[in-house]
Amino acid sequence: MGTRDETTLAELDRLLVERVLAKDPTVIEDIVRTYKRQVYHLALELCRNHDDAEDLVQEVFIRAWNNLDSFRGEARLSTWLHRITVNLFINTTRSRSYQARKESDSFDEEYMTGGRGGEYDPERAYVAKEIAEHIEHALLKLSPAQRTAFVLRHYHDLPIKEIAEQMNNTEGTVKVLLFRAVRNLQKHLSFYRDDNRTE
């Protein structure tokens, strides 16, 4: 089923690309309708809060609309939109800092309830919430480029080559960003290792 969905999306992407290249003035509406959710999820994982993600998504599609004439069809529309999202995020966060606003919906429901069909465990839920908040704060301490590379690699499972393309960097630079991101996360979350050592 997943393969069929991917094939359908690839076919839809191809048709949209054809319309872009044909200068169809109505194509942006279908591009937004097709990719808004996908772009929002990436924006949310980068910005770490809903309001900034919504603002970023709006700016992404404005930028896409203004640059449709420059799109040559050499990449999928989704890749092009992701690249715009990444560039806007990095440029925006360089000029202003995002405030962390943790949303409770982002926690894993199965873990919170003790497993599928399990009863709600307040203590377990509290621990899960605390861990999630620590990870959240640690991610926010990464540089925009490090966070972007980390999110694309570990949340979207993209290969290094594709991350490099979306970030407009070399593969070597992406590897360095990932190494530094992991090292910084380990540093910011080091108290977990310290807690495990003291028994």
pTM over 0.75: no
3-state helix, strand, coil in the chain (%, to 5): 75, 0, 25
Q: Which residues, other chains included, contact 111 with Cβ-Cβ below 8 Å and sequence gap of 6+?
A: 124, 128
* Same domain for 94 and 169: no
* Same domain for 199 and 148: yes
* Same domain for 96 and 3: yes
The domain in which residue 18 lies consists of 1-101
Query: Helices marked H in 49-156 — which ranges?
Result: 50-66, 77-95, 109-113, 122-140, 144-150
Mean pLDDT of 116-126: 54
Chain segment 146-194, per-residue pLDDT in tens: 999 999 988 888 899 999 999 999 999 999 999 999 998 888 877 655 5
* Same domain for 94 and 14: yes
Asked which of 71, 101, 131 is the last residue of a domain, the reply is 101
Chain segment 8-26, per-residue pLDDT in tens: 888 899 999 999 999 998 9
pLDDT band at 111 (very low <50, low <70, confident <90, very high): very low
167: domain CATH number is 1.10.10.10
* Same domain for 18 and 89: yes
* Same domain for 87 and 21: yes
Helix (H, G, I), strand (E, B) or coil at 114: coil
Q: Contact 43/144 with Cβ under 8 angstroms? A: no
Report the Cα 87 to chain-centroid distance in Å: 12
Total domain count, the chain: 2
